[in-house]
Structure 1
Amino acid sequence: MPSPLGSADVVVIGAGIVGLAHAHEALERGLTVAVVERGDRATGASVRNFGHACGTAQDGDALRYARNARATWARLAEEAGFWHRRTGTVMVARAEDELAVLREFAELRGDEVRPLTAGQVAERIPVGTGVLGGALLPDDLRVDPRAAAHAIARHLAGRGAAFHWTTSAHAIEPGAVHTSRGTLTARTIVLATGHDVDRHYPELAARFGVRRCALRMLRVDAPGGATVEPAVQTGYSLLRYSGYEACPSLPAVRERLTAERPDLIGIGLNLMYTQRPDGTLTIGDTHAYGTTLDPFEDEALDAAVLAETAELLGVDGLTVRERWRGVYASAPEPFLIAEPAEGVRVVSVTSGIGMTTAFGLAPEVLDGLGYPR
């Protein structure tokens, strides 16, 4: 029989960004913390993304979480020593209806959105022909996702959090997590395993409609060695972020893109890119959904992302350095927060915006557990 692993006020299962956010918040409140992670480091959605905290484009709870997360990102970047910038996001409009949405969004959000002329867009980012204008979302953040989660975990370990790497959580019950290395006892357990909610609570996952969303993403050389400070998004992005849904012109964008490019709408394209600290661009992404995902990768998805990104950048082609599949939890509601048993919280960001919202979400979860700030 495995021996006991000890005890903590809060045991977090999952060392992705959502789990780390809860571990950080628990430490901030003076609680003892243990983190259980089946890998020897985070390798899931928390490292396979754009590193883009796209808070301005959210609404409702997501917008509140995102706004509250910004200060924590800045503080952790300084304390844990990872790359972080308030770069903003440049939205590129290549059609009149897209430009109308951005103007309407600026009216709704005030100083959070700054309209740009076509010339002002071109001053900030490399673009091809056909750009009519755009908008700057100045408050959005970027980090290097390949480094941030690992740096935060090291920082939290240095503050006293006990990390149990290469340790699988086999069973959860009130007050205890039974793992492959022994049992951890806890006042509170937070399950933050993203799309793997169904591995422990299949009925809960089914009730919330949790599925897995598969993305196709690539890392390419920046054309001409260009430096691109902000994140860059396009008209396809307008269809994927909840904040734009309040804009009266959005249905026209959806109708036109569906008619003009049903192939790209069908693969769930969110045409965008960010630049990594090494100068390469992370580009993408496509979206496919299922409870269990097929293992076979369709080269047409990468070809579509490459072609559309090259056109956006105004170049003939791009040199690919890496390709990968990202997977995150998806459900009709953007957040899953549930109490399947006494002292147990299941927390999953089911909308692909964990980097954006986790450090604003975790404090409210800890509030709900009765731990004072």
Structure 2
Amino acid sequence: MSVSSEPTDLIVVGAGIVGLAHAVEAVERGLSVTVVERDERAVGASVRNFGHACITAQTGEALRLAERSRATWLRMGAKAGFDVAECGAVVVARSTEEAAALQELAESRGSEQVRLLTPAEAVALAPVADGELRGAALLTRDLRVDQRRAAASLAEWLAAQPGVRMLWSTPVLGVEDGLVRTGRGELRARQVVLCVGHDLDRILPETAEAAGMRRCALQMLQLRAPGLRLDPALLTGTSMLRYPALAGTEGAEALRARWREQRPELLDASVNHMLTQLPDGDLVVGDTHAYARTLDPWSSEELDRLLLAETGHLLGRDDLAVVRRWRGVYASTEGDFLRARVSPGVTAVSVTSGIGMTTAFGLAPTVLDSIA
């Protein structure tokens, strides 16, 4: 099947969350849109993540975009028919350094965004082993999104809108002003937005190189935990070292210094040990981080065992069973976002810090404003 050359206002290349967010924003502005995706459905970072919109732990532009994105997630969940829960995230403190980091965050953000919890209150929200708990915090603005359904539901909603074409299994070979060359023929539009994440170097290698783009590989697990109920996302001290609003605290810096001596394996693998629960009750557990322009193809069983052991210790359980293992991959640069105006009619967009689910719906309006 060849594609039609009838022009549209906007072509979006990539039907992951970032691309779909741009298509949704364009539809709401009354534009005609063609979405081009090389696969028959979204199978990348948009479905391999935690389903956690981590809003409160961001800073700067990422925080502003996350807050804007939050409202759109709630609206589109209702429109497109997938679950978005305002259940927040619980960050547990199992050391004095972690408790200090949460105290600093609460003081900077206020009780409406960060509610400090006693150990008993934390256990009531998240079934953690309470022997080491020094306290916790509830990040009230965070959302839980059904990541296994969201992209497909958004694509179905878009396909039903006037002026929208969804072209699946259609690889893009090249782009230029007003033109996208695909394996099925040429497409034309007033503007083209490339939302292909870490694969930007497959289409525009010089743009990716100029941004210093690398790939970040994650190891993640799906675990069966009979009888466990976990509504909010569950974050640990490792999360405090990765999310900027916490990583910048004195408590987090002290924790990092101690772990250099006592837990170097967590720092070496850049572990962000956190959990979310799928609708069927299984836990999504992760994650480790490895960076390279070209990633090694191997997964590490040692890292999987580390994640499993950390989860068993956190929950006080020895009956967790691995259901699935996978590697996620996302684009990485020094900043949170890549927005490159390649030519007057072509813009490349990537979320480059692993917060695509958190910020995509806030990012898309800024991009469309810039090319209006």
Q: What does residue 181 of structure 1 align with? A: 184
Shift of 1:65: 0.5
Out of 222, 239, 259, the residue aligned to residue 257 of structure 1 is: 259
Secondary structure, aligned partner of 1:351: coil
Give the equivalent residue in structure 2 for 1:118.
Answer: 119
Distance 1:244 1:143 in 2: 22
CA drift at 1:245: 3.6
Corresponding residue to 1:334 among 333, 336, 352: 336
Is the 1:52–1:142 contact (alpha carbons within 8 Å) kept by the matching residues of 2?
yes
Q: Cα offset for 1:234?
A: 0.4
Letter in 2 for 1:52: H
How far the C-alpha of 1:268 sits from its partner, in A, is: 1.1
Shift, 1:282, TM fit: 0.4
Q: State the AA in 2 paired with 1:87.
A: C
- How far residue 173 of structure 1 moved from its aligned partner, in angstroms, is 0.5
Aligned residues of 1:90 and 1:137 also touching (Cα < 8 A): yes
Q: Percent identity?
A: 53
TM-score by length of 1: 0.97
2:101 corresponds in structure 1 to 101
1:147-158 correspondence runs (5 A): 147-158=149-160
Instruction: Note if contact 1:6-1:183 (Cα within 8 Å) is conserved in structure 2.
Output: no
What's 1:17 paired with? 17
Q: Deviations over 1:238-287 (max 9, x none)?
A: 11111124423221011112221111211111010000111111011111
1:115 partner letter: L
Matches within 5 A, 1:211-290: 211-222=214-225, 224-290=226-292
- Whole-Å Cα distance in 2 between the matches of residues 316 and 274 of structure 1? 18
Aligned to 2:55: 55
- Answering whether residue 181 of structure 2 is matched by residue 192 of structure 1, we say no
| Alpha-carbon shift at residue 317 of structure 1 (Å) | 4.2
C-alpha distance in structure 2 between counterparts of 1:218 and 1:165, whole Å = 28
Cross-structure match for 2:128:
127
Whether the 8 Å contact between 1:113 and 1:138 is mirrored in structure 2 is yes
Q: Aligned with 2:40: secondary structure?
A: coil
CA contact (8 A) 1:307 1:317 kept: no
2:144 pairs, out of 142, 154, 161, with 142
Match of 1:165 among 163, 168, 176: 168
Unaligned runs of 5+ in 2: none
CA distance in 1, matches of 2:15, 2:278: 22
Show the counterpart of 1:321. Answer: 323
Is this contact kept in 2: 1:17–1:358, CA < 8 A?
A: yes
Deviates more, 1:316-325 or 1:60-69: 316-325
Q: Does the aligned pair in 2 maintain the 1:213–1:289 contact within 8 Å?
A: yes
Q: Distance in 1 between matches of 2:247 and 2:300?
A: 31
Moved more, 298-307 or 315-324: 315-324
Contact kept, 8 Å, 1:217 with 1:285, in 2: the verdict is yes
